Each structure stands twice: as structure tokens, then as C-alpha cells.
Structure 1
Amino acid sequence: MTSTESSSRPYGAFPVRIGFQVQPQHAEYGQIRRAVAAAEEAGVDIVFNWDHFYPLSGEPEGLHFECWTMLGAWAEATERVEIGALVSCNSYRNPELLADMARTVDHISNGRLILGIGSGWFEKDYQEYGYEFGTAGGRLDILAEALPRIEQRLSKLNPQPTRNIPVLIGGGGEKKTLKLVAKHATIWHGFGDAETVAHKHAVLDQHCADVGRDPGEIERSVAVSDSPEKVGQGLLDVGTRLFTVSASGPDYDLGLLREWISWRDEQNK
């Protein structure tokens, strides 16, 4: 797909944005806090963590911190960036409680929370913390039940959230996950090269048509680990507008993030 063709796609209306996932593993909290501050100072748009109880790489019993407690601290420690989990695990909290937590962090941050959510997958978390792991399909079915409950609870809370909290759903499952995105999300987050992402976008667009949703309402996000010179234009041409770099502790390297921020500024001129 050419740049001209991509500009006609409905989700091309979103500006290019850059996210930074500060993976809360193998680091003291002070190191995490400094990485978040440095990313905000560098000009990133969104700072994410993740919702796990153990490291996903390196020493499996290494240093690690909990997701939502950290987001509350980030809400106070930051001023401009949006914040959120990439992504919160639906299995770990009652949906009504999660809605209330999200509303509270939304207020603490003056309207900067993104509610990232997924069905969960890391079996060690489930085993160690006493959650039923079940099957991938079963966890997606539970997520499908939870999302309307979250929406209903948000509508009942007093005070109300400061805005319609953006919902990010992560995952590329074409039969269930992308259908949930079409019904409930304002951001879809996935993985892969431009060809893979273009296919997922087409599937998501069809789900939107099936449920009567404007696909232009859904911002398209992808994880990136290469330089923008290598992969940026290809992903941009297929409709991606949010590009998220990740880094792990203890030494959070912002080099690649700064490359993407500079590239973003060129694209948004």
C-alpha cells in the first residue's frame, strides 16, 4: 500500500503518537520512576507498564512490582503524558473493581489514563496468585462478559470519570479478540510486520462493519523494536498511528525511544 492510499483510510486521521512501555522488572522503583520522568521529558505521548507479578524475561524470580499501584503513583509523578497498562489482565480483578480503580487513577491524573485490558496469558501469575488459568478461549469469553460490566460500572460511579476513558484492547485473535475491539475499544494494540498488521486491520474493519461501528474511531497501535527508518513507513502506510517501544530494567535505555519521537515529529509536521 502506498502513502497516498493509506491517507484515504479512515484511521489515518489520527496523529502519529509514541508510547513507551516501562517494563517493571529487574529494577528498583526509583529506577522505574526515573525512566518514566525521562520519557516524559523526552516528549513521549504515553507511558505504559504491564500487569504481571513476575518478570517475563531474565531471572524469573527477579525484582518486580505490581501494575495498578504503580499507575496511581505515576498519576501523581507525571504531568503531561497519558498512562496505562499494556495491558491489565482481566482475570486478576473483579470488573467493577477495575472500573473503580480506573476512574480513580483517571481523576488523580486529571484525565490521562488509558484503560488497557486483555484476557491474560502468563500461567505463572495465575498459579502463584491462585487464579484459575483455564483455556485461552475461556479467558476471552470471560473478558467478553467483563467489558460490559466495566462500562456499566463506569456509568454509575460518583464522581464520574473526567472523560470517556479510552479503552485499549491488546491481542490479535481474529475470531474473538478483534471482535471485542470492534465492540468496546478505542485503541487496538498488536504485534507484527506491516503485512501482518494490515491483515489484522482488515479483519478488524470487517468486525466493525458487522457491528455497525465506524473503524475510524479505533486508533491502531503496534509494538516496535526496530528503528523507524526500518519499519516506520511500512507500518504507517497500513494505518498504524501509535508506535510503542519497550525497555526493561535495571538500565532503561531510551535511545530507540528518542529515535521514534524524532520520527513522529517529522510525520506530524
Structure 2
Amino acid sequence: MSKKFISIILLIGAILMFLPYWFMLIVSFETIEEASSVPPRLFPLNPITNNYKEIFIKLDFARYFLNSLFVTLTLVFSQIFLCSLAGYAFARLYFPYKNAIFLIFLSVIMLPGIVLLIPRYIILKNLGLINTLTGVILLEIFSEFGIFLYRQHFLSLPIEMEEAAIVDGASIWKILWHIVMPLSKPITLSFGLLVFIYAWNLFLWPLIVITSPEKRTLPIAIALLQGQYFSNWGVIMAGGIIASLPPIILFLFTQKSFIEGIAFSGLK
């Protein structure tokens, strides 16, 4: 198969993946009538910016943005910390039933997330954490995928440096934070970016847990602009464009490290 043919296929795929975002961008600059037209236009007839002004009028945008930022950053740092610890334990330490416990962790990945919603809600209710951002965060701070990713990466690292550090009297903590983690920066950046995108777009779980308007995250606040009988799609799409900027900007600045981490881990 020639490189030109592969390039054409990749280009077509890239265009198809970009089209929804392009239509969202176009609708955000259209009037109510134009946004409701069928079929949708590839370019706005009379571009307007009122939708971007109105999104800040209809929503307490700064509050919802900060709520999402707080949840996202907390999940990024907590998942990196906890998953690296667990991944190192499964890769290097020896304890009873290690492989069996790891298989149990992996089996959770196969469960649809929606199956766990009711049990998780009951746990939060018993803890008194319903309608709190802490409740949203608490049951999301652990990632089975993150444990698997770190474990596989740590297994691929040469063990000689760790053994030399043990001979010199270094503790497990010093080995992990001063030797292993510095060697794992590409993986950490890649995983951190994936967690950021996941947490920033988190919708169903916060929608169930949060009931107070002032504690809503940005995706929920934007989604609730849609009415039963009427929706101003221009305003909703403007909110969606603004909400999508943080992960896009973050990816643009970290894409080189992200690709290196994916290639280094052998992740497909």
C-alpha cells in the first residue's frame, strides 16, 4: 500500500472527525433562524458575535469554569499520584495474590460505567457527600487504566538502577520519586492529558451528584441551556466552543510529549 494512498485515507478521516467541530463553530456565529436551517451551512451568511456575549449573560460562566477546573486538576494530580503508586507496587513489589488482585482491577475496565452509577450514588449518600464537588471527585480519583499503563511502563524499565539504589540504602519511596518517576515523564504527561480531557468533559456523574446550580460544572451548565420546546443553538454552540478551548490549548502545547509517551508505552 503506497504512502500516497495512506495519506489520502488519513486526510479523509481527519476531515470527517473535524466536521462536527466545524459545524459547531459555524453555528456559534449564526442567528437563531440560521442555526435552525436544514441542511446546515458550511459558512455563516451573516456572522455575529452576540452568541459569545450572551453565554456570559445567561450563565455564571466564571463560577462554572472554576468548578470544572477544580474537579479536573484535582483528578489529574490524584490519579497520577495513586496510579503510579499502585502501578509500581504491581510491577516491582511482591505480596500475596498480586496477580489475582491485578486481574480483578483489570476486570473492572470491562464493566460499563453506567452499571456502577447506583452503587456509587449509594456510597456517596451514606458518606453525606451528595451535592458536593468532593463527592464528584472522590469516586473518580482511581483509574484502572492508569494502573495498567504505569505497571506496563515500569516493567519495561531496566531494574539495574533500582537495584543499585537499594544497595546504596535508598528506600522504596526514594527509588520511586527520584529514579523511576523522572524516567516516566512522557508516560505521566500522556496520562495526565488523557485524564484532563476525561475530567473536563465529565458529564453524567456530576449531573447525578450535583443538584445546586452554583456547584455545577461547565458541561452541565451548557447542556441545561437546551429547552424542551426551544433551544438557542447559537448560544449553546458558543458555550461548547469556549469549553473546548482548554483541552485543545493544552494538547497543542504538550502534543510532542504526548506522542512520545504513547509511542514509548506501546499504547495503540
User: Which has more helix, going by share of residues?
Assistant: 2
| Larger radius of gyration between Structure 1 and Structure 2 | 2
User: Which has more strand, going by share of residues?
Assistant: 1
Normalising by structure 1, report the TM-score: 0.28
Q: Which has the higher contact order (CA 8 A, sep 6+)?
A: 2
